[in-house]
């Protein structure tokens, strides 16, 4: 599952500028949502296989 291995975005030098900051924030938010959805799929799959796990 490629989404689970997606690297966290790194800030660039332009992050100090408003446009760079907004872009980085958007990239970081997208990364977090992608990783969260990937974990949800993994968790539900494990729970479906009988693993005792709490998926939130």
Mean pLDDT of the chain: 84
Q: How far apart are CA 25 and CA 40, in angstroms?
A: 22
For the chain, the structural domain boundaries read 2-48
The model's pLDDT over 9-25, given as tens digits with 9 standing for 90+, comes to 777 777 777 778 888 88
Q: Are 1 and 37 in contact (CB under 8 A)?
A: no
Q: How far apart are CA 26 and CA 21, in angstroms?
A: 9
pLDDT band at 8 (very low <50, low <70, confident <90, very high): confident
| Residue 35: burial class (beta carbons within 10 Å; 0-12, 13-18, 19+) | middle
Q: What are phi and psi of 19, to 5 degrees?
A: -65, -45
């Amino acid at each position: 599952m490629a989404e689970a291995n997606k690297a966290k975005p790194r800030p660039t030098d332009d992050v100090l500028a408003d446009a760079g900051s907004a872009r980085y924030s958007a990239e970081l938010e997208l990364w977090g949502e992608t990783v969260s959805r990937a974990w949800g799929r993994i968790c539900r799959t494990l729970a479906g296989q009988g693993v005792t796990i709490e998926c939130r």
